[in-house]
Structure 1
Amino acid sequence: MSVKRQDIHNSDIPVLCRACEARHKGVCGALTAEQLIDLNKQSVLKRVEPGVELLGETRQTESYANIISGVVKLTKMMADGRQQIVGLQFAPDFLGRPFRPDSGITADAATEVNVCSFPKKMLDRMIKDTPELEHKLLEQSLKELDEARDWMLTLGRKTASEKVASFLYLIATHINPDAGTVEGSMRFDLPLTRSDIADFLGLTIETVSRQLTKLRKDEVILIHNNRHVEVPSLARLAECASR
């Protein structure tokens, strides 16, 4: 059975959904007003502290979520206990792995994160009934695949300086994508510790610190209170990421 697509930009949708970025740019944009009302009845808004696990790599998935704000860290674990940060997610990304019982990955809150959580069974049913929703999830999966391929290039071919600049550019353009243009400026707090940044980039902590210092001395970035970063020119940072 398919659900006829309807205009959800009306007063019938739940109040909490009207200003939600996941409705305008995320997977909920594929849902009708009626579906949003049904989903809203079983949705729970949660504030998650940094370091708290949202999804377990082998743990049975009971719910999905839309990221409303904050940064989520994705990791994979090896059999001997070693782990690797393999990605980051931002608002309004969809958190979960449809079509399988577990997520296949561990997701932890890198910063304070706000999510809108809803039952897996309910959304799985909507996916079957709504081709637009399945298409939206496929779009996000392909976007994540493209980003993963770009990051493989960063890790495999870029210098340490380019890697650190690429990481900062990733954060600057994803943590608040509407706050500026590529020519403009940006301010943000680093969502990862120096240790996690090193893990993500395949570098040592000392190398990450040296490259951040170099970017600061070259006035590509300004660093306040160790975690708060200001980028005067995103265009210049992008240039440093691809030299």
Structure 2
Amino acid sequence: MAARQDAQQVDVPAICKSCEARRGGLCGALNARQLAELAKASSRHEVSAGTILHDDGTYSNLLSGVVKLTRDLSDGRQQIVGFHFAPDFLGRPFEAKRPIKAEALTNVALCSFPRTIIDRMTDEVPELGRLLLNRALNELDEARDWMAALGRKTASEKVASFLLMFARNIDPSKHPADPISFDLPLTRGEIADFLGLTIETVSREFSRLRVDGAIRITNKRHISLASMAQFEERCGD
């Protein structure tokens, strides 16, 4: 009871009130007192595209931009295995190590805080633990979806699924029936790497989508869809 009253007497920090991570990310599970504690220990900073995000004893909320996850193979090749979009949480609780490298695909803004604080709050706040578990399960579902896509879908369906993933994550608030435009922060080679296709195949499928009127492309990177709901029909799901 006393803890609840203390939480009610503490105002949500001004920096947190308009933060997207508070509504859709990790901090949504914290009360005002916990947010105030986290805000005191946190730091906001920007990272340039191409920067490797090293595991330095911190966790971060991704406030803007896109992060790509890669894995290096023994012969020097690199495989893109996933992406993070705002307001995703960057970090792996329980100190587990994994051979995955996070790199800023675009310029990104981060809110970083000591790992020890979140690890302690996870024990204190059941809702925070449930949120992290739900995040892990969502990533597992997404990985399984991509396993099916990469193993069974046609090249056309793979490229369409890839574009739809970016459209949905770049602006999650967008209604599926509305048009959407976004800058695609990957080269055709990187897309081919992720989808297991050749660069020529990816370029051919982009051209086909453009000729069919399914997408508009401006300056090679700016993509426009008439609607995500309509484009979903091309994904083979």
TM norm structure 2: 0.93
Whether the 8 Å contact between 2:10 and 2:33 is mirrored in structure 1 is: no
Return the alpha-carbon distance in structure 2 between the equivalents of residues 93 and 9 of structure 1. 27
Report the equivalent of 1:40.
Answer: 39
Deviates more, 1:233-242 or 1:156-165: 233-242
Return the alpha-carbon distance in structure 2 between the equivalents of residues 78 and 208 of structure 1. 23
Q: Does 1:206 align with 2:200?
A: yes
Which structure is higher in helix share?
2
* Alignment equivalent of 2:176, drawn from 170, 177, 182: 182
Q: Deviations over 1:43-72 (max 9, x none)?
A: 1111111111113xxxx5411101111111
Q: Does 1:84 align with 2:83?
A: no
Whether the 8 Å contact between 1:61 and 1:102 is mirrored in structure 2 is: no
Whether the 8 Å contact between 2:6 and 2:33 is mirrored in structure 1 is: no
The residue identity in structure 2 corresponding to 1:96 is G
Q: Deviations over 1:81-121 (max 9, x none)?
A: 22211111111110010002545411111111111111112
Return the alpha-carbon distance in structure 2 between the equivalents of residues 101 and 220 of structure 1. 42
Q: Secondary structure at the match of 1:111?
A: coil
Q: 1:14: Cα distance to partner? A: 0.8
Deviates more, 1:162-171 or 1:103-112: 103-112
Aligned length: 236
Q: Does 1:30 align with 2:29?
A: yes
Q: Percent of aligned positions with the same letter in both sequences?
A: 54
C-alpha change, 1:10 and 1:167, in structure 2 (3 Å) is farther
Q: Secondary structure at the match of 2:21?
A: helix
Q: 1:211: Cα distance to partner? A: 0.4
Whether the 8 Å contact between 1:220 and 1:233 is mirrored in structure 2 is: no
Report the equivalent of 2:219.
Answer: 225
The residue identity in structure 1 corresponding to 2:177 is E
TM norm structure 1: 0.91
Q: Deviations over 1:4-33 (max 9, x none)?
A: 678989980111111111111111111121
**For 1:1-243, what aligned pairs fall within 5 Å after superposition?**
12-55=11-54, 60-102=55-97, 104-178=99-173, 180-242=174-236
Whether the 8 Å contact between 1:70 and 1:114 is mirrored in structure 2 is: yes
Runs of 4+ in 1 over 6 A off after TM superposition: 5-11
Q: 1:233: Cα distance to partner? A: 2.3
Return the alpha-carbon distance in structure 1 between the equivalents of residues 6 and 195 of structure 2. 43
Return the alpha-carbon distance in structure 2 between the equivalents of residues 170 and 149 of structure 1. 14
The residue identity in structure 1 corresponding to 2:46 is R
Q: Secondary structure at the match of 2:87?
A: coil
Q: Secondary structure at the match of 1:99?
A: helix
Whether the 8 Å contact between 2:10 and 2:32 is mirrored in structure 1 is: no
Q: Deviations over 1:133-188 (max 9, x none)?
A: 1111111110111111111111011000000000000000111111x222221000
Unaligned runs of 5+ in 1: none
CA-atom RMSD in angstroms: 2.1
Unaligned runs of 5+ in 2: none
